[in-house]
Amino acid sequence: MLVTAGPTHENIDPVRFIGNHSTGKMGFAIAEAFAAEGAEVFLVSGPVSIQTSVAGIHVTGVITAGEMYEACRGLIDSVDIAVFNAAVSDYAPVDPSLEKVKRGKGEWNIRLKPTMDIAAELGKLKRQAQFFVGFALETENELEHAQAKLVRKNLDLIVLNSLKVQGAGFGTDTNRVTMIDRSGNPEEYELKPKGQVARDLVDRVIKMTGNA
């Protein structure tokens, strides 16, 4: 199986980048939970400070959204399950500077372009026998946006978490999620350590795929 984790960094110049607060904790926990079930896991991670020594996990480190897409594209045909957990940057600078930009007195305007939507692009290549899981971090109209992503990205299950919930989201050791499948019925879970959230996800995927 394939798991993506962490953020991506899109360079503005050699010392600055566009990124987010993702620590990779959730993605690494998911990889370890699936490995505990005997799965061979390919973990593609953006820049994070955590590591794993769990047997059966093969880690590929990347920096940018483009690099993450290429790594996933090279693996997707050989996996049965993919969990797209990474917090991929939505935009990247159009013309990153090759030299550090010096402080000036005026404003600095940076033109941005959309990055590759990795889950959506790989969803176009999804085989009938494959099972894809996505994540949605929302701040408004959470269920509506998550259900739209489920369909648009050709996913089988989407895991929703909200920045409005204390103890959920980036930089925490806990998470509170809602899982939504193709039927559109949300299943809410209580606030739990991310390791247990990962275990809940494994149980749900096993139940839906019959891979006990």
Task: List the catalytic residues.
Answer: 20
Q: How far apart are CA 124 and CA 130, in angstroms?
A: 12
Give CA 210 to chain center in angstroms.
Answer: 24
CA atoms lying within 13 Å on the CB side of residue 24: 24
Q: How far apart are CA 124 and CA 179, in angstroms?
A: 22
The dihedral built from the CA positions of residue 33, 37, 38 and 42, taken in this order, carries a sign that is negative
Nearest residue to 132 (alpha-carbon basis) of 155, 111, 152, 113: 155
Contacts of 81 (CB under 8 A, 6+ apart): 1, 2, 34, 39, 130, 131, 132, 133, 205, 209
